[in-house]
A and B are shown apart, each in its own frame.
Chain A
Amino acid sequence: MKDTPLSNCERDFILKAIEEKKRLDGRQTYDFRRIKITFGTDYGCCFVDLGKTRVMAQVSCELVAPKESRPNEGIMFFNIELSPMASPAFEQGRQSELSVKLNRQLERCLRNSKCIDTESLCVVAGEKVWQIRVDVSMLNNDGNLMDAASVAAITALCHFRRPDVGIQGDEVTVYSPEERDPIPLSIYHMPISISFSFFQQGTFLLVDPCEREERVMDGLLMIAMNKHREICSIQSSGGIMLLKEQVMRCSKIAAVKVSEITELISKALLNDRTARKAGGRCGFAESMPQERITALKTDETLMETSDVTERANDIVEKAGAPPQTVPSPLVPAPGVGQVSQGQQNTWGLQEEDEDDDDDDDEQNGKETKMETEPQEEEKGAGDVVEISDSEEEEVVILTSETSGQAKNADSSSHQKRAAASKRRPKK
């Protein structure tokens, strides 16, 4: 299925807002969305929420024969799945360009940086080694899948415990979790990727783009770093041209962000560990808030409410009088209801106007209340200015009282009426 297209209005709006350093959800240019990390019941399962983007990572292990070229190292296998659950644009089974890109980036970020000690995964050199498999599934796509996936993958790896093995001569016994405590993996460092999106040929930069911002961006720069300020991977994508200064700036920003996120991950791991030790039940089911309607759950945001009453009063004063209620319909003939007179037919066919008026009235009568309201308004309220949507972008002066109010017909502030007809200025 194709993604719903982005209209030009939305695109222009987002770009303009970015030029004024404003983002759709009120963040600053270098702000990340709220990250929430929860763990499942099994070791190695973790959910990461980055704003509305939701990603799940699961780590599993298996004893296999090692690669011939590396007989005493374990094998790491990464797999990112773009589940159709996440977005209507993702199709089941087909390996799209995005999927290849994310997979390769995750592989480069985690495997090439050697964050896991693969030699400790060796059981019997040349015969049996542990194969660690990390499966990341996208559950909801609201932009910036790469960062969410990298956080989820590395957290899951830190959380994972593999079974203990005992070697007696040639025999290898794998102990179940009940017999012996499983051992965590030895992780050297935690590489986390930070995505920067570029707009207007590289003039503007945003960290952690949401889905709408991703659609209008020119290109993306992904920097993966760990908290020791070591860069693990850099990847630029999209057709942008970068300058060296931009890259240096991004790396500095990334350093700050990575240390924050690493703190968060360590805290989450610590909480989970204490919860498990305390014997409490933990897992995915527990992390969902109870007794709440989850479909429309929105996060609570802090708001400044000290001057709310004043601002509310201002708005109420400036707004027009409330629209009059619709009078009860007249019944000119059985089976016909008329609510108002309807508008003047301005199609230019003068003779037919009168004949058509009645028909129009009847149709108008059956339409919803909202239709008639503007018509009532223009006759009643004094200072509601309607702007016509004719291509001439002319000023529309409705009544003699408001003749002084000439506003610019700014195309971006249209008021569209459902059954709009062209209105020419009255002579």
Chain B
Amino acid sequence: MATAQVSEAEKVYILHGIREDLRVDGRGCEDYRHMEIETDVVSNTDGSAKVTLGHTAVLVGIKAEIGKPRPMIPNEGYLEFFVDCSANATPEFEGRGGEELGTEISNTLYKVFNNKHSVDLQSLCISPGEHCWVLYVDVLLLQCDGNLYDATSVAIKAALFSTKIPRVHISTDDEGGKEIELSDDPYDCMRIQVENVPCIVTLCKVGHRHVVDATLQEKACSVASLIISVTHKGTVTCTRKVGGGSLDPESVFEMTEAGKRVGKALHAPLMKLLQHEESLGRKTPKVGFLG
């Protein structure tokens, strides 16, 4: 991850502040920064979303293509993740510099979504064993100021919510082969149920306490972090520990509980916001980066 250079005095300052539940920008330990979400920003895609979390900016585009299902699971579609850490975020990501971080994040995303409940993969099936929808989820990191996982997961959830997959009609032609027709009507489309899509919460251990949504500076002061993906019911789908430091089991338990609490609280406002945006319809002009 792009790192910030922090001096020892600054580290002590941040540590002491967090001990008193007071962070550098005035937040509490479990508060998120100002988050802005907008969907449907890229018109070439089937679904897209742009999330700005403080100074971190992430753009997700989803393209749906028809492909062959996996041989092991012939009656389900699947998702493919690709994370592109672009050089826009920091010059260190130029050329192949961002590949390592990109593969790390995409591997985590695979793990998070690797269960039956997150996304209803059976609805992505067209004809078992032959055709299915493959959703290519492309994440583009534009600006990096800590907490990439959270921003990415919120963006993916928003993008999946806004994805419109055209309906398919299967007809058999003369020779017995199947012909697939996509309906031309742009409004005749299938939506994906995103109720159960988990959100990732990153908790960084700074001193004896843990913080949610750490900035780069706070990350430089922490030794270890825990990444938890939580659904809206509070179920944990994936846990990962990152960082070189060690965590004792009690703090792991504490952090997991805190993560579940925070994650659960994140989903409800998010869904409300997405539905509100949808209800505004196509009349409101999209702001995108022009705001």
Direct chain A–B contact by Cβ atoms under 8 Å: no
Give A residues with C-beta under 8 Å from B: none
Please give the residue numbers on chain B whose beta carbons come within 8 Å of chain A beta carbons, in ascending order: none
